[in-house]
């Protein structure tokens, strides 16, 4: 029953250049090049589960002990005094302020005491600093390794140096084993992020990140099926570069290595602006929308790809505004404040939170 819908969706007139059929791009021993296999878009899903498992063990047995060694506390603030009525009110509305007066009067407490109880209770639902450090450390490790791997496999590829080669000869462009692995690993990682996002540290940009991951996975899958893997590898490489700094800044911030954090934040601004709002729109999107029509006949799928690329660009611009806002506050405060790309509210909820380390902690802190 689904077959007619699938055939209608993967219409050759939509996804392929004129006078090209799916059979022309089907891999086989009689073909001059090794074409991408559309069935391989499902390979990253079980691989994503392997990533989630690997992440669990790395965070528990490597990143967590390392974070504790750096002085990051795994414990949360003390629990509020058990109170059944306040607990019921909290579960009904964790951030309510309208009921404070009524609750205080009913329980013979001051409004300030009720508000403090709610604040402490909210902190119990938030992940500890160590959990956030482990999450960012894992992502940093992946982005660093994947970026180096991408540079390694693309260094001898002509389309890295001449983006027109992404279109010349299309769609009859072969895929090599190293590019296959680069695509599968990158896709699996974004699948793992999409799955784990629902129990990871929840930040204010939750839905923006969710849309970003879905758009990225869609681009990876569609470009693979349509044999547009060359331009796809450039997009992946470009994104990993800035994400290395994003996760490194967060991890060092949680570890309170403020000088290292400030230095990395400066590197982040340079890497992010140059890649996400510089090279990405003025080189990648310009190439797909201006150069590509000059080198091969257009077909509807190109507009789908460009729409997804532009969606990523919109998200990049939104995050750039947040980063520049933090940069402005950094200049005023003398150090990096806030949470990159999301301005997580968990920093402001803590009653003991301070943007500056205490003198006693600073004296005992190891400096890099």
Provide the phi-psi class of 341: left if phi over 0, else alpha when psi is between -120 and 50, else beta: left
Highest mean pLDDT among 156-165, 190-199, 290-299: 156-165
Which CB contacts under 8 angstroms, 24+ apart, belong to 311-318?
A: 311/211, 311/215, 312/212, 312/215, 312/216, 312/219, 312/280, 313/277, 313/280, 313/281, 313/285, 315/208, 315/211, 315/212, 315/215, 316/276, 316/277, 316/280, 317/277, 318/208
Six-digit token pair at 265?
């934040």
* Rounded mean pLDDT, 292-312: 90
Residue 66, token pair as written in the block = 């390392």
Between 297 and 3, the higher pLDDT residue: 297
Which has the closest alpha carbon to 226: 7, 71, 4, 24? 24
How many Å apart are CA 85 and CA 106, to the nearest integer? 10
Q: Where are the alpha helices (DSSP H) in the chain?
A: 3-9, 12-15, 44-58, 64-69, 84-92, 100-107, 111-124, 129-154, 158-161, 177-196, 206-225, 229-254, 258-274, 286, 292-295, 300-333, 346-349, 359-364
Residue 337 clears pLDDT 60, i.e. is over it: no
The CB density around residue 3, as the number of other CB atoms within 10 Å, is 7
SS3 category, 161: helix
339: confidence class by pLDDT, cuts 50, 70, 90: low
Query: What pLDDT does 237 receive?
Result: 95
**Residue 366 clears pLDDT 90, i.e. is over it:** no
> Does residue 37 surpass a pLDDT of 70?
yes
Plot region of 366 (φ>0 → left; ψ -120 to 50 → alpha; else → beta): beta
Structural contact between residues 168 and 112, judged by C-beta atoms closer than 8 angstroms = no
Q: What percent of the chain has pLDDT over 70?
A: 78
Measured CA to CA in angstroms, residue 163 lies from 116, 181, 230, 283, 292 at distances of 58, 21, 9, 9, 10
User: Does the pLDDT of residue 50 top 90, yes or no?
Assistant: yes
**pLDDT at 199 (0 to 100):** 76
More confident residue, 336 or 162: 162
Residue 146 has pLDDT above 90, yes or no: yes
Average pLDDT, the chain: 83
Choose between 96 and 51: higher pLDDT. 51
Query: Mean pLDDT throughout 234-249?
Result: 94
pLDDT tops 50 at residue 347: no
> What confidence category does residue 282 fall into, taking pLDDT thresholds of 50, 70 and 90?
very high
Residue 118 reports pLDDT greater than 80: no
Predicted TM-score of the model (pTM): 0.80
- pLDDT for position 105: 65
Q: Read off the pLDDT band of 201 (50, 70, 90).
A: low
Contact 37, 221 (CB under 8 A): no
Comparing 49-58, 69-78, 347-356, the range with the smallest average pLDDT is: 347-356
Q: Is the pLDDT of residue 362 over 50?
A: no
Whether the CB-CB separation of 232 and 202 falls below 8 Å is answered with no
Could you give the residue ranges of the DSSP H alpha helices within 59-110?
Answer: 64-69, 84-92, 100-107
More confident residue, 4 or 214: 214
User: Quick one: pLDDT at residue 345?
Assistant: 38
Q: Which three-class secondary structure state does DSSP give residue 271? A: helix
Token look-up 């009921």 returns 99
Preceding amide of 101 cis, omega within 30: no
As a whole number, mean pLDDT of residues 280-297 equals: 93
> Between the CA atoms of 29, 31, 32 and 38, what dihedral angle is there, to the nearest 10 degrees?
-100
Mean of pLDDT values over 346-359: 38
> 1-5, 62-66, 238-242, 322-326: lowest mean pLDDT where?
1-5
The pLDDT of residue 346 is: 40
The average pLDDT across 193-197 equals 87
Of 349 and 329, which is predicted with more confidence?
Answer: 329
How many C-beta neighbours within 10 Å does residue 207 have? Answer: 9
């Amino acid at each position: 029953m689904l077959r007619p819908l699938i055939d209608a969706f993967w219409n050759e007139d939509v996804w392929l250049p004129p006078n090209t059929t799916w059979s022309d791009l089907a891999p086989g021993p009689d073909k001059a090049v090794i074409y991408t296999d559309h069935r391989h878009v499902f390979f990253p899903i079980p691989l994503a589960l392997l990533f989630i498992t690997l992440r669990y063990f790395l965070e528990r047995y490597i990143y967590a002990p390392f974070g504790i060694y750096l002085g990051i506390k795994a414990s949360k603030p003390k629990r509020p005094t058990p109170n059944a009525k306040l607990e019921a009110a909290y579960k009904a509305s964790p951030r309510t302020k309208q009921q404070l007066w009524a609750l205080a009067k009913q329980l013979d407490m001051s409004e300030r005491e009720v508000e403090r109880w709610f604040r402490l209770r909210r902190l119990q639902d938030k992940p500890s600093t160590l959990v956030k450090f482990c999450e960012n450390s894992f992502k940093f490790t992946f982005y660093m390794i994947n970026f180096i791997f991408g540079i390694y496999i693309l260094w001898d590829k002509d389309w890295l140096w001449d983006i027109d080669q992404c279109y010349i000869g299309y769609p009859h462009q072969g895929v090599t084993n190293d590019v296959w692995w680069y695509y599968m690993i990158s896709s699996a990682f974004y699948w793992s992020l999409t799955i784990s996002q629902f129990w990871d540290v929840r930040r204010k940009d939750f839905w923006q990140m969710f849309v970003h991951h879905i758009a990225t996975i869609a681009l990876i899958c569609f470009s693979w099926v349509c044999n547009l893997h060359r331009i796809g590898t450039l997009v992946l490489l470009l994104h990993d570069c800035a994400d290395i700094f994003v996760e490194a800044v967060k991890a060092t911030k949680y570890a309170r290595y403020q000088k290292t954090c400030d230095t990395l934040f400066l590197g982040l601004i340079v890497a992010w602006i140059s890649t996400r709002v510089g090279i990405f729109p003025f080189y990648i999107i310009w190439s797909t929308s201006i150069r590509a029509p000059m080198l091969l006949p257009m077909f509807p799928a190109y507009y789908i790809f460009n729409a997804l690329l532009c969606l990523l660009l919109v998200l990049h611009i939104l995050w750039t505004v947040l980063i520049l806002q933090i940069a402005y506050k950094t200049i005023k405060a003398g150090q990096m404040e806030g949470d990159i790309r999301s301005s997580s509210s968990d920093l402001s909820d803590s009653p003991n939170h301070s943007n500056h380390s205490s003198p006693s902690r600073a004296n005992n802190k190891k400096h890099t």
